């Protein structure tokens, strides 16, 4: 089996610290010899690395239960509520901040369009649902919100979607488009100072829905509803 020192070293890595994999290889090679049971060091290291960096795209969302604020009421939200519907999870760092209200207000301005597509929006931060209500009551921008504002003080949902900042208790700006089967179809994560665009999110949702309902077709760059799509085939190779 893999040596404990190797496992400890690899699991201490952050998700994208590939540079340290070479160091891990050297350590494991030192501890492993052909007479030992288990996989050779290279296989061990890269199997662990593969599990650490696996994309959430095309994976099923994990079960969760949380309290939320919506339309003046506190409601419970679970993963079961997503069944059979398109959903967007819109993570942000914190209430009563700066970029966050501009993003949430932008989504609120497009909420009716998302609803026409049968899409439900769930904003999520590690604040409580009580804080969401207080913010909704005091901010003109947040008062426009009619979609569900989930509180994640336990960090369960932020951890499930891998956007929780280690040691900070805050979520990154992460956007996830989830299909009616609970499968994540699109992921976007931006740095603290980079706000997102609800109009482009709407475009991506439309593209995801189109591809889901038109097997064999794909949407090219900047695709807008009604425009031509592509049908990948041998004849198309090198022609674009």
pLDDT of residue 26: 44
Which residue has tokens 């993003």? Answer: 103
Report residue 169: phi and psi, to 5°. 70, 20
Q: CA-CA distance, 61 to 49, in Å (whole number)?
A: 21
128: enclosing H helix or E strand = none
Which residue has tokens 């931060």? Answer: 125
How many helices (H) and strands (E) are present in the chain, helices listed first? 8, 7
Average pLDDT over residues 203-232: 97
Is the pLDDT confidence value at 35 over 80?
A: no
Q: How confident is the model at residue 55 (pLDDT cuts 50, 70, 90)?
A: confident
> Which residue among 13, 21, 100, 201 is the active-site one?
100
Our answer to whether residue 100 is catalytic in this structure is yes
Q: Lowest mean pLDDT: which of 53-67, 133-147, 167-181, 183-197?
A: 53-67
This prediction has a pTM of 0.79
For 56-86, how does the pLDDT look when each residue is reduced to its tens digit (9 = 90+)? 999 999 999 999 999 999 999 999 999 999 9
Give the residue among 204, 211, 218 at the shortest CA–CA distance from 114.
204
Judge contact between 116 and 215, C-beta under 8 A. Answer: no
63: number of Cβ within 10 Å: 11
For 104-144, how does the pLDDT look when each residue is reduced to its tens digit (9 = 90+)? 999 999 999 999 999 999 999 999 999 999 999 999 999 99
Q: How confident is the model at residue 40 (pLDDT cuts 50, 70, 90)?
A: low
Q: CA-CA distance, 88 to 151, in Å (whole number)?
A: 15
């Amino acid at each position: 089996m893999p040596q404990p020192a190797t496992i400890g070293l690899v699991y201490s890595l952050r998700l994208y610290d590939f540079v340290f994999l070479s160091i891990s290889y050297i350590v494991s090679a030192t501890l492993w010899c052909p007479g030992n049971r288990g996989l050779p060091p290279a296989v061990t290291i890269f199997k662990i690395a593969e599990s650490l960096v696996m994309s959430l795209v095309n994976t099923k969302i994990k079960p969760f239960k949380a309290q939320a604020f919506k339309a003046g009421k506190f409601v419970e939200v679970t993963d079961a509520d997503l069944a059979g519907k398109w959903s967007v999870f819109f993570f942000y760092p914190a209430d009563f901040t700066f970029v966050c209200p501009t993003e949430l207000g932008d989504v609120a301005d497009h909420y009716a369009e998302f609803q026409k597509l049968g899409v439900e929006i769930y904003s999520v931060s590690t604040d409580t649902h009580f804080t969401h209500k207080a913010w909704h009551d005091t901010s003109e921008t947040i008062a426009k919100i009619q979609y569900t504002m989930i509180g994640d003080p336990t960090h369960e949902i932020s951890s499930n979607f891998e956007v929780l900042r280690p040691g900070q208790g805050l979520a990154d700006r992460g956007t996830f488009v989830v299909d009616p089967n609970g499968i994540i179809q699109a992921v976007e994560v931006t740095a603290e100072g980079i706000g997102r665009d609800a109009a482009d999110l709407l475009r991506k949702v439309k593209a995801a829905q189109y591809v889901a309902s038109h097997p064999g077709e794909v949407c090219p760059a900047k695709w807008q509803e009604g425009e031509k799509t592509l049908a990948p085939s041998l004849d198309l190779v090198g022609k674009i």
